[in-house]
Amino acid sequence: MTATDPALTALASGWGALSLLHDRIESHIERALQSGHGLSVREYSLLDVLSRQHSGPGGHLQMKQVADAVVLSQSATTRLVTRLEDRGLLSRYLCPTDRRGIYTDVTPAGLKLLDEARPTNDAALRQALDEAAGNPELASLVAAVEAVDAPAQRA
């Protein structure tokens, strides 16, 4: 393959469209969450991931698992946790069975903010996808995103 190979050009074009869609969606949600709730997309995502933990076996996530879930490095995730802990939205405590482990839970204030922000996030996502669907370059990607959840909605 050469740099001007049509297959490579198509791949680069597809990747560019995917990146554009992601940036548009994230920017739209970011503006909505910041203006309505003082949260960034990453902060919302972290609260959302941590709110799904439970006290059963395997119910609490280790920091590496949290970092993977919010698509950040472990150090960036730790800084984000610290910021939200300073705001009273998260709390950390030692794992009762492994004193080396530290768990993070969403506080009642964090759960309240998450509950208030969830409709804003969902509406901003829907609006961003609807706007992107009107762009011929992005319409097939929007359809693919919407199809990911389709089986779960039918069940």
Domain ranges of the chain: 27-127
**Exposed, middle or buried: residue 148 (CB in 10 Å: 0-12, 13-18, 19+)?**
exposed
Q: Is residue 76 within 8 Å of 40, Cβ to Cβ?
A: no
Question: What confidence score (pLDDT) does residue 119 get?
Answer: 98
Burial 82-110, CB ≥16 within 10 A → b, else e: eebeeeebbeeeeeeeeeeeebbebbeeb
Question: What confidence score (pLDDT) does residue 36 get?
Answer: 97
Question: What confidence score (pLDDT) does residue 62 get?
Answer: 83
Question: What confidence score (pLDDT) does residue 151 get?
Answer: 59
Question: What confidence score (pLDDT) does residue 150 get?
Answer: 62
pTM equals 0.86
Pick out the chain residues at pLDDT < 50: none
Question: What confidence score (pLDDT) does residue 120 get?
Answer: 98
- Stated as kind and residue range, the H or E segment containing 106 is strand 102-106
Question: What confidence score (pLDDT) does residue 102 get?
Answer: 82
Tens of pLDDT, residue by residue over 35-79, are 999 999 999 999 999 999 987 777 888 888 899 999 999 999 999
What's the CATH code, domain 27-127? 1.10.10.10
